[in-house]
Amino acid sequence: MAYIGKSPTAAPLTSSDITDGIISNAKLAQDIISADTALGAEPADTDELLVSDAGVLKRMDYSHIKGGGKVGQVVQTVKTNTFSTTSTSMVDITGFSVSITPSATSSEILVLVNVGIIANSNANGTFINLLRDSTNITSSSASGAADTNDSWNVVGGGGTTLDNRKYSSPNISYLDDPSSTSSLTYKCQIMVGGVSTGYVNQWGVNTDHASVSTITAIEVLA
């Protein structure tokens, strides 16, 4: 621009020089977002987004819109060897635990247990518990009992008893709310109800018949 006389001194543009609401969409570069550095991962809960609330621009944390009920991670332990006990109080099943570290305190953990157990006595069953670390999370509040399954006789046609044993294959499905981001260990314990031996993954003393037991822990995001 040509001037008559001396050129004015250049001065930086400030926010007070621009009237509120004067910059329209037409004045913005169309790559104002795509030209910036990509995040490359799911936003953190405190990451901010710009939204139009009925025509009014507002910021919003990602925590308010992220989807819930998604699977964060899945871990599993598979026990193929056998275990036995004569204990009438709960004992750990050796090699039958799984560890998981929740990504947020709001996450829940869905624990799925499939296990084959047997007692070599017709009169006494074998019982099982599910624990988070040292806390029993499956005990009954109705009677104070700690068992989660009943066992039964193995019978043939006409009700003939085939074996003097009680067998059970309990399935435990438990949605836990640990409110933690620390490493958690889910495990199972068993006991026998009387004078007998409880077996895991084995048909009593018959080692030719075996099964496989699993614990699966699934993190469900809030």
pLDDT in tens, 144-176: 444 444 444 444 444 444 454 555 667 889 999
Q: What is the pLDDT of residue 119?
A: 67
The answer to whether residue 219 scores a pLDDT higher than 80 is: yes
Return the amino acid letter for 26.
A
- Domain spans of the chain? 71-220
Q: What is the pLDDT of residue 14?
A: 84
pLDDT in tens, 172-209: 899 999 999 999 999 999 888 777 788 888 875 555 56
Return the amino acid letter for 77.
T
Neighbours of 128 (CB within 10 A): 23
Q: How far apart are CA 76 and CA 112, in angstroms?
A: 9
pTM beyond 0.75: no
Q: Do the Cβ atoms of 80 and 93 come closer than 8 Å?
A: no
Mean pLDDT of the chain: 81
CA distances from 182 to 9, 76, 178, 203, 219 (A): 62, 18, 9, 37, 13
CA dihedral 44, 46, 49, 54 (to 10 degrees): 130
pLDDT in tens, 69-119: 789 999 999 999 999 999 989 999 999 999 999 999 999 999 999 988 776
Q: With cut-offs at 50, 70 and 90, classify the pLDDT of residue 122.
A: low
Q: With cut-offs at 50, 70 and 90, classify the pLDDT of residue 139.
A: low
The answer to whether residue 57 scores a pLDDT higher than 60 is: yes
Q: What is the pLDDT of residue 66?
A: 75
Q: Do the Cβ atoms of 188 and 131 come closer than 8 Å?
A: yes
Question: Is 71-220 a domain of CATH 2.70.50.30?
Answer: no
The answer to whether residue 37 scores a pLDDT higher than 60 is: yes
